[in-house]
Structure 1
Amino acid sequence: MSTTPRRNFLKKAGLAALGTSHVLAEPTRKKELFVHHVFFYLKDPNSAQDEAKLLQGLEKLAKIPAVKLSHIGRPARTSGDAIKKDYSVSWLCFFKNLIEEEIYQTDPVHLAFLDECGPLLEKMVVYDALGQKG
């Protein structure tokens, strides 16, 4: 009885196992994630018209293709010394990476938002963070 077919099988199985272990041993690459969080302070925080215009502008921004996820918010009714509630509206959005965020910054919809809503604002505070998602 010949052992050659068995040896060939074992040899091929061993090579296949080595190839698989290399793939399994390779570290999982995490994807880059860019977070853009803006806090808007209206010049007239009591103006429902100004707030509505700002909210409409943010809803348009959410439709820019580079924006992967967004959230429009107002100060929550929470308490604590570290919690800031002096802003009018917040805009939180996520991008696949820094390049996508840069595309967003130059998008005509974003530029129009700055022209239309900028005059309504006393100031805006921007927090950008670059990290990883699992």
Structure 2
Amino acid sequence: MALTNRRTFLQKAGLAAVGTSPLLPEPARKKDLLVHHVFFYLKDPQNAQHESQLLEGLGKLAQISTIQLSHIGRPARTSGDAIEKGYSLSWLCFFKNLIEEEIYQTDPIHLKFLEDYAHLWEKRVVYNALGKKG
């Protein structure tokens, strides 16, 4: 029970911090902020060339106009039973709202990314979270 309460508190505190962060552009601080987080599991995680290619593709995605803020990451060296470290790269981006994320999904840059880089991963897991202030 204590873990659930602590986890809930940390999740809410994190969402509150993101929603009010001065690092986000003003539109991203609105009540309908959508967080899009994708975890990529490369087919050959030891292949530096494949990782480099995926990094290149993710860099291209960052050019999509509806993205307010983006971040490319690797598994952090942290510990804990619930921490997932099996992915190769993560792609985190913020949208003003659900509509902006839907525009992103059909943007030609995104479609080209899927076409050009999907052969590199064996799996991708997507988490979308819609935040509400208040």
TM-score, structure 2 length as denominator?
Answer: 0.76
Matched residues, percent identical?
Answer: 73
Cα separation, 2, equivalents of 1:117 and 1:79: 30
C-alpha distance in 2, partners of 1:31/1:37? 18
Find the counterpart in structure 2 of residue 110 from structure 1.
110
1:66-77 to 2 correspondences below 5 Å: 66-77=66-77
Cα distance in structure 1, aligned partners of 2:89 and 2:133: 26
Q: Number of residue pairs matched?
A: 105
- Deviation, 1:63, is 1.1
Greater C-alpha Rg: 1
The aligned counterpart of 2:3 is none
What are the ranges of 5 or more consecutive residues in structure 2 without an aligned counterpart? 1-29
* Residues 35-114 of structure 1 mapped to structure 2, 5 A cutoff: 35-114=35-114
Runs of 4+ displaced beyond 6 Å:
none
What's the counterpart of residue 14 of structure 2? none
In structure 2, the residue matched to 1:123 is 123
TM-score, with length taken from structure 1:
0.76
Where 2:122 maps in the other structure, the secondary structure is strand
Q: Distance in 1 between matches of 2:65 and 2:132?
A: 21
The whole-number CA distance in structure 2 between the counterparts of 1:45 and 1:60 is 21
Q: Which one-letter code corresponds to 2:76 in the other structure?
A: A
- Work out the CA distance in 2 between the residues paired with 1:115 and 1:89: 18
What is the deviation of 1:38? 0.2
SS of alignment partner, residue 31 of structure 1: coil
How large is the Cα RMSD of the aligned pairs? 1.1
What whole-Å deviation, never above 9, does each CA across 1:65-116 have from its counterpart, x for those lacking one?
A: 0000011000000111111100000000000000000000000000000011
Structure 1 unaligned blocks of 5 or more: 1-29
Higher percent of residues as strand: 1
